[in-house]
Chain A
């Protein structure tokens, strides 16, 4: 599996991570090596036929009994880099 530098750049863009040029080259090599190793799984499934899906069932709890409003507001907002009143402040996107 050949990984090109532009693939690394594309992945970094999708993952929203700034990566230096020097590190891109290291990542190109690492990803290629790791992907070559994990590609084993493609051969295994070929031997054992079509992939099966795990058994799925609903494990979500009922959406009931909420805690009192505002209980955690201060604790949580204290962690935010920027706030405006009881809201987290972000840069405008439009």
Chain B
């Protein structure tokens, strides 16, 4: 058995049929985690994995196993697990211990998963390469000279390397889908409001959403089914009695051709995307060209709204109640020095940018306008979904780039999010699925295709995703 090819579904069957114990499975995963330590995917491997495995084994032995009981899981370091450190890869929270479980943590815990460790990320989820971690960059398992994407790069790497069977990340502008694409795994950004944000370390609250990394669409669905649902602790989570529209199985795929051919999109990415779309035609899907000019404004809307929310969310880190503290001559100096030293460079940059766009002289020009364009983008998408069931784009404009290649040019780094950001702006769900490879410098670099559905259309994503896996003969 190669653990790297083992899906959650297969592992579940082996566990309940007693072909393998939870401990044996966990030991296999820990072995891989140890042998791939140089990737820097995990910030910490928990010391109580074996105890957790025993608890899960008891649940299985009592016949009460869920599909996730005993499954080794990795958690991004901005998701609280009670009693454990949650640093968001920041010096600011290096020693912070969570005082409660995130809603998603509790759901997974109740399902009996085994938490293997917490994974590296861009500091406070700000970045697209995991280079912005205060604890060193994570490396792409397909080519160690390249980034795994970000911000959930540690979770994507751990799963791709076989150091867990499922993982959670968070996605504010592409932070699940982009690393999933770079690492050759599946990543789902659920509908805003379908998964509770309670217990996630907030970055931009109107955009943040937690979601799964998995090796197959079916595994992603299993994890999503576990973590979704209403939570009174998150006022933006949809109540359980919310009338979820029932989606018929999708048949028509819309391709925003003009948007996909934006400046800076790699020719090989476009070729792979076109081949993928051809495969979907062969699989019986109708493909329609659509025009969505508003999508092109997604990135500029994002880089106004996101830093605005960042500057206000991160105001809580004051060196007084918790987190990094530097003693100054007075309280004001405590604040200034604690925040100056506790936050990394990209975080400082975004806080200043947010402070600027929210300042009284520029509020209308930037924040106000960005909110208006956001509404426009939402309406344009809604209109597009009257004609098509699913919208498809590449997940990223290029395959994984080299470590250090974009780290000194923030705007270039931001442009890597061009296809993923509009999805968060509109709050709709999207999934990234491996669609092939490109060869570069002797390494095979994964590419991904992104499918976007209307609000609460996750079931449509799973349906089209499974068809896509079949159409391209996807093997893990």
A interface vs B, CB < 8 Å?
Answer: 7-8, 11-12, 14-19, 23, 27, 30-31, 33-35, 37-42, 44-45, 48, 50-54, 59-61, 72, 75-76, 78-82, 88, 90-93
Task: Describe B's contact surface by its main secondary structure.
Answer: helix
CB distance from A90 to the nearest CB of B (A): 6
Q: Which residues of B contact A61 (CB under 8 A)?
A: 232, 235
Judged by a CB distance under 8 angstroms, whether B46 is at the interface is no
Binds A, one of B8-16, B66-74, B344-352: B344-352
Most buried by B among A15, A27, A30, A79: A15
Given A51-B372, A54-B375, is A18 in contact with B349 using a C-beta cutoff of 8 Å? no
Number of A-B contacts (CB under 8 A): 136
Q: Which residues of B contact A78 (CB under 8 A)?
A: 97
Given A41-B373, A45-B369, A60-B235, is A15 in contact with B351 using a C-beta cutoff of 8 Å? yes
Chain B residues 290 to 332 lying within 8 A of chain A, measured CB to CB, are 294, 297, 299-301, 303-304, 311, 318-323, 325, 330-332
Q: Which of B100, B236, B336 contacts A59 (CB 8 A)?
A: B236
A42 to B331 CA separation, bound complex (whole angstroms): 39
Chain B residues 346 to 396 lying within 8 A of chain A, measured CB to CB, are 348-349, 351-353, 355-356, 359, 365-366, 368-373, 375-376
Tell me if B321 and A79 are in contact (CB < 8 A): yes
Q: Which residues of B contact A44 (CB under 8 A)?
A: 294, 297, 369, 373, 376
Q: Which residue of B lies closest to A18 (CB)?
A: B340
Judged by a CB distance under 8 angstroms, whether B42 is at the interface is no
Give the 3 A-B residue pairs with the shortest CB-CB distance, closest first.
A18-B340, A51-B372, A81-B325
Provide the B376-419 mask, 1 if CB < 8 A to any CB of A, else 0.
Answer: 10000000000000000000000000000000001100100000
Tell me if A17 and B301 are in contact (CB < 8 A): no
Tell me if B376 and A48 are in contact (CB < 8 A): yes
Judged by a CB distance under 8 angstroms, whether B51 is at the interface is no
Q: Which residues of A contact B359 (CB under 8 A)?
A: 11, 14
